[in-house]
Structure 1
Amino acid sequence: MTTIAELAEDRTVEGVYAVGRKERRRTRNGQPYLALELVDPSGRIEARVWSDVELLDRRFGEGDAVRVLGRVERFGGKLQVQVRALEAAPDADPASMAPAMRRDADELDGFLEFLAGEIAHPGLAELVAGFLDDGALRASLRALPAAGADGHHGYAGGLLEHTVGVTTLCRETAQLHPRLRHDLLVAAALVHDVGRTLELERGPAFRQTEEGRLLGHVHLGLRLIEQRAGGLDAALRAELLHAVASHHDRASARTAEASVLYHANQLDAQAATRPVGEG
């Protein structure tokens, strides 16, 4: 089997992959075709089905595992699989084929706990510990991307990697600027994306849940935090919620900690996605 990372132009493809996206489209002449995104733990690639569209369309759905035979060509500057034959692969587990991060998840988990352990404020420490003691939430951090399949850290475990990245940036900034409230900033960073665990389904497609589509991860995260933050002083709880609420909206940040969290979130996302030069 050829992994997606190994694919090269003018190479034959034969293997089992998951369907991360499936769309039925039409050519300019009105002929139907299927636009697919095939994924495996090594990456993702676009694919097209031009022939026997009606027959093949009924054989699989988005999120299924499929066995593919085709050839890699270059289109629009990107590699693309031209599918010659395709069938469902019912014995394969599609979730295990979701693109995965390259960093060690156990190491990131350990650093997540280290960062949480630096929070001295009893109420904030208890709140964060409650999230980290939630087995389902911890599993979701390893299984979900940070912002969907097409966003930054768009692979299984990206949510864990991004959470650690943002929190590390916030921790370092608080050390550089002692005027910042370290515990509030680090706690906000650790929980700023907990709403993703309710917004997204597991791979390979990482679809939005219905609740996620309608409410979004920020609202869902605020709701989770409010449910667990009853022991916090009301003023501190409001500041924590404000920082999380504004981590995608620079103009709405009213505190230094909220502003730092916004910029740390943006920096980690940009560093993970913007192209870099060679050499």
Structure 2
Amino acid sequence: MRSTGTVVTRLGDLVDGQEAVCYAVLAKKVRGTTKTGKPFLRCVFRDKKTSLEAPLWHGDPLLEVAEAWDEGIAYRVEVRSELKLNFGMQLVILNIRPAADGDELEGYDVDELFESSAWPADELLQSIHQRVDKYIADPHLKELVVRVLVENDDLLRKMPAASAMHHAYTRGLLEHMWSMSRVAAMLLDHYGDCYYKDLNPPLDKGVVMAAVVLHDIGKLKELAYSPVEARYTKEGQLLGHIIMGRDMARDAARNIDGFPEETLLCLEHAILAHHGKREFGAPVLPATLEAILVSFIDDLDAKMNTAVRYRMDHKNGEEFTDKVWALDNRRLYRGIPVEPGAPAPDLDA
């Protein structure tokens, strides 16, 4: 395919004061007014790795034109990048139009615009099912987890774990569940088999693994899937994924004859308490060993995903990342890169 000669720049590669051609998706338009009552528009453009804001202030000739721009659409944008104190890199739009047939000659690649998990859905699901089989001994509980996974297979293969923050990309929810199940397996082997052998009743490994897999299942109803950015449903706004997830688990249990009440109670509690603290949105605080373990695993996996993604993002070109809101506004040291080439981990390891 012959190039047109135009150099296309990724959003994350822009430097202060640069004029460039970029391809990006309009992820969001937010209308507002200044303190003096003047209208403005915050446009957020994103590609696979980076989101940047393009504010349109009163008097900008594009402010009225932007009303016709559609969220979720890929655009060819000519921009000037400006590094703003306290706001980071922002875009000044010089020219814009929807991406069109033939733009591939210039370097447009739709696969560069939408981020997704690096792990295939089939492999993630197979790995999760193997741990469900290994760590959930109670047949009723195992049936519940498998039923929920099978009944929601289509959405699980694409739903992000959040609209922002951790695992906020296509298939991110499934990746989060898989990662947590791996961590849970290691901790269950340690705390459940090796360490506290005299604990009676013993740590319920089945409840922990079931809650790890189902703790965020309510996000399938809390969010409406989009490859650009998942948005909250009406029910998600009014109820939230924690309550909705507990209800999904409870409804599944009602359709399984003889489901043990104590097991269901402990599973519901672990789902309800998985945010760990009331200020983080937990309706109840963890009051069982199983719920404590699930909440710590969830917090660890979410924070690690956020931290790793910030460290991998080189848009500020410095030794330290931008401030990470989820980590108390700390800036993370990026370290000295090593040569690539390490093999990918075995999902079942």
What TM-score do you get using the length of structure 1 for normalisation? 0.86
Contact 2:22 2:79 survives alignment (8 Å): no
Q: 1:233 aligns to what?
A: 260
Contact 1:101 1:156 survives alignment (8 Å): yes
Indicate yes or no: 2:187 matched with 1:173.
yes
In 1, Cα distance between equivalents of 2:100 and 2:243: 37
In 1, Cα distance between equivalents of 2:121 and 2:301: 18
In 2, Cα distance between equivalents of 1:80 and 1:148: 21
Q: 2:210 aligns to what?
A: 187
Q: 1:55 aligns to what?
A: 64
Q: Secondary structure of 1:22's match?
A: strand
Larger mean CA deviation between 52-61 and 216-225 belongs to 52-61
CA RMSD of aligned residues (A): 2.8
Q: Residues 37-56 of structure 1 correspond to what in structure 2 (within 5 A)?
A: 37-50=44-57, 51-56=60-65
Would the alpha carbon gap of residues 13 and 123 (structure 1) be closer, same or farther in structure 2, given more than 3 Å must change? farther
Which protein has the larger Cα radius of gyration, Structure 1 or Structure 2? 2
Would the alpha carbon gap of residues 267 and 144 (structure 1) be closer, same or farther in structure 2, given more than 3 Å must change? same
Q: Secondary structure of 1:176's match?
A: helix
In 2, Cα distance between equivalents of 1:7 and 1:113: 43
Indicate yes or no: 2:167 matched with 1:143.
no
Would the alpha carbon gap of residues 48 and 261 (structure 1) be closer, same or farther in structure 2, given more than 3 Å must change? same
Q: 2:148 aligns to what?
A: 131
Unaligned 5+ segments in structure 2 are 1-7, 102-107, 193-201, 278-283, 308-330, 336-349
Q: Secondary structure of 1:9's match?
A: coil
Larger mean CA deviation between 137-146 and 115-124 belongs to 137-146
Q: Percent identity?
A: 29
Which one-letter code corresponds to 2:53 in the other structure?
E
Q: Secondary structure of 2:243's match?
A: helix
Larger RCO of the pair (alpha carbons < 8 Å, separation 6+):
1
2:24 maps to which of 10, 17, 40: 17
Which one-letter code corresponds to 1:164 in the other structure?
W
Q: Secondary structure of 2:30's match?
A: strand
Unaligned 5+ segments in structure 1 are none
Contact 1:43 1:99 survives alignment (8 Å): no
Question: 1:36 deviation in Å?
Answer: 1.6
Q: 1:82 aligns to what?
A: 92
Contact 1:39 1:99 survives alignment (8 Å): no
Which one-letter code corresponds to 1:262 in the other structure?
S
Question: 1:99 deviation in Å?
Answer: 3.0
Would the alpha carbon gap of residues 96 and 71 (structure 1) be closer, same or farther in structure 2, given more than 3 Å must change? closer
How many residue pairs are counted as aligned between the two chains?
A: 276
Question: 1:55 deviation in Å?
Answer: 2.5
Q: Secondary structure of 1:252's match?
A: coil
2:138 maps to which of 117, 121, 130: 121
Higher helix share: 1
Q: 1:256 aligns to what?
A: 289
What TM-score do you get using the length of structure 2 for normalisation? 0.70
